[in-house]
Amino acid sequence: MDIASAVHTITIGIVNFIAEHSDKDSLQEQISDIVVQIQNVIRPLLLRDVPDLPLRQTLQALQNALANVDSHLRSWKESRTRRMLALVNPWAVTQEIREDRLLLMHQYILLMGAMQVIDHITVKGYNLLPPAAQPNIPTSSQASRSSGSKKSPQKEDVLEFWHSRIGDDLEVVESQKLCEHLASWLNIKMGPLSCRRLLLRLDEHSTGNVTLKTLQDLVRDAKMKEIIQLYTSNPRFPLLIWISDDLALNAPKAAYAQERGISVVQLASTSTAKAWINANRNFLLKHDNAGELRFISDQYRKELNPKGVPYHNRNAGNQIMKFIRDKGFQAPVLIYTGKKSLHLTRYVESYPNAGSAAGHYEVYQEFISALGARRSDDKGWMKFGA
């Protein structure tokens, strides 16, 4: 078993044990909450190897800490000697659990930091790329090339905000509180929908917390206010919603769309795509036509099931197609896949304004160029195996 899977297995055992034996103890429930947050953070690592040595070392330390916490919790319930000690000196139980909670919180912060330092290991679940006509907001590839340079004024702005509103000694803030602090600091309105949109990017796995490094990773070398407004505002049209787990491979194609005045939303998993579409559904439906809104999805994705176990989802395209139509959208959907999985896309013939293609770039160009020109008369791609 690899290190990420081993850590995930221990977290499941701790959460289940506390649920069965905690007696509503607040300290133990707090430990359970932290462990659930750890589960959410490491789940993406179950989909891939962890070659990065610092991250592996962080996971090893986390595994040891979790094993100790698990042992402590069980011993107070299962060891006769420890049970007798608890009766005589209940403070000893409380003190040990309190120390375990602090240790886990420290390890959680280290984990969040390690995950954010190595961007190449975790697939960002949600990226919003504006049209190329907006030069002040860098794309992900542009940001990556400049990320190794010295601190820019924009990065200093993020640090100034964090130190002023969050604190010099804190690396993590509650997600909802971050929205409140950002709205106040930037002097912008941020209602529940705007906050939800932002947290889909900053708190992708719904941990309930955001780290400083996560915010820095989002802003990069852009102006913080512009980036926050980009991710909290209504999407701009024409809009391409692209669901695929290989964001790096699709980067040149996304740039092609941006150059044609198209905003691109990149969503790396079925669950992230559903969450984003649900959050923006009412607004998107007002622009549900081929000249303003289109979808692209791959057919095959490596994803996590509800229990956090990775599996090869060969029906990802079918599932997202059905979801899009069930939500009331009639906008064009292109299933853009490889030759080996093209045969799985015959279902597109059952839907209007739908088609599939096995990586033919000219089909993609036709699909995108029509959207950029706000046309709705392109039909050549609307078939199986275009």
What tokens appear for 187 in the block? 């002097």
- C-beta of residue 333 within 8 angstroms of C-beta of residue 386: no
Q: Who contacts 340 (Cβ-Cβ below 8 Å, separation ≥6)?
A: none
pLDDT tens series, the chain, 386 aa:
588 889 999 999 999 988 887 665 677 888 888 898 888 888 778 866 676 778 889 999 999 999 999 988 888 777 777 667 666 666 666 788 889 888 998 898 888 777 765 543 344 578 999 998 654 455 444 444 444 445 556 668 999 999 999 988 777 888 999 999 999 999 999 999 999 999 999 988 777 888 888 899 899 888 999 999 999 999 999 999 999 988 778 889 999 999 999 999 999 889 889 999 999 999 999 999 999 999 999 999 888 776 667 788 999 999 999 999 999 999 999 999 999 999 999 999 999 999 999 988 999 999 999 999 999 999 999 999 99
Assess whether 223 and 357 both reside in one domain. yes
User: Is 245 a member of any domain?
Assistant: yes
Domain count, the chain: 2
Letter string b/e over residues 303-318, b meaning 16 or more CB atoms within 10 A of that residue's CB: bbeeebebeebebbbb
Taking residue 252's Cβ as centre, other Cβ atoms within 10 Å add up to: 10
User: Is 379 a member of any domain?
Assistant: no
- Residue 142: the pLDDT is 45
Assess whether 105 and 164 both reside in one domain. no
User: Is 140 a member of any domain?
Assistant: no
What's the rounded Cα separation, in Å, for the pair 8 and 107? 14
What tokens appear for 273 in the block? 């795509």
- Residue 145: the pLDDT is 42
Q: Write out the residue range of the structural domain in which residue 30 sits.
A: 3-120
What's the rounded Cα separation, in Å, for the pair 233 and 42? 29
What tokens appear for 330 in the block? 């009639």
Assess whether 200 and 336 both reside in one domain. yes
User: Is 79 a member of any domain?
Assistant: yes
Residue 170's nearest CA partner among 209, 198, 205 is 209
Assess whether 50 and 170 both reside in one domain. no
Assess whether 280 and 335 both reside in one domain. yes
User: Is 10 a member of any domain?
Assistant: yes
User: Is 251 a member of any domain?
Assistant: yes
What's the rounded Cα separation, in Å, for the pair 41 and 45? 8
What's the rounded Cα separation, in Å, for the pair 354 and 345? 10
What tokens appear for 130 in the block? 């504006």
- Residue 375: the pLDDT is 96
What's the rounded Cα separation, in Å, for the pair 271 and 262? 24
Assess whether 82 and 156 both reside in one domain. no
Assess whether 170 and 85 both reside in one domain. no
- Residue 233: the pLDDT is 95
Taking residue 36's Cβ as centre, other Cβ atoms within 10 Å add up to: 17
Instruction: Outline where 79-152 has alpha helix (H).
Output: 80-88, 90-117, 140-146
Q: Maximum CA pair distance of the chain?
A: 81
Assess whether 173 and 101 both reside in one domain. no
User: Is 139 a member of any domain?
Assistant: no
- C-beta of residue 42 within 8 angstroms of C-beta of residue 63: no
Domain holding 304: CATH number?
A: 3.40.50.2300
Q: Who contacts 23 (Cβ-Cβ below 8 Å, separation ≥6)?
A: none
- Residue 198: the pLDDT is 96
Assess whether 97 and 156 both reside in one domain. no
What is the pTM (predicted TM-score) of this model? 0.74
Assess whether 114 and 158 both reside in one domain. no
Under DSSP, is residue 108 helix (H, G, I), strand (E, B) or coil?
helix
- C-beta of residue 330 within 8 angstroms of C-beta of residue 277: no
What tokens appear for 217 in the block? 């990773």
Under DSSP, is residue 167 helix (H, G, I), strand (E, B) or coil?
coil
Q: Who contacts 16 (Cβ-Cβ below 8 Å, separation ≥6)?
A: none
What's the rounded Cα separation, in Å, for the pair 118 and 114? 7
Taking residue 277's Cβ as centre, other Cβ atoms within 10 Å add up to: 20
Letter string b/e over residues 108-143, b meaning 16 or more CB atoms within 10 A of that residue's CB: bebbbbbbbeeeebbbbbbbbbbbeeeeebbbbeeb
What tokens appear for 263 in the block? 């905003």
Assess whether 170 and 90 both reside in one domain. no
User: Is 178 a member of any domain?
Assistant: yes
Assess whether 222 and 366 both reside in one domain. yes
Q: Percent helix, strand and coil across the chain, each rounded to 5?
A: 60, 10, 30
- Residue 135: the pLDDT is 45
Residue 334's nearest CA partner among 308, 372, 304, 363 is 363
What tokens appear for 300 in the block? 């095959």
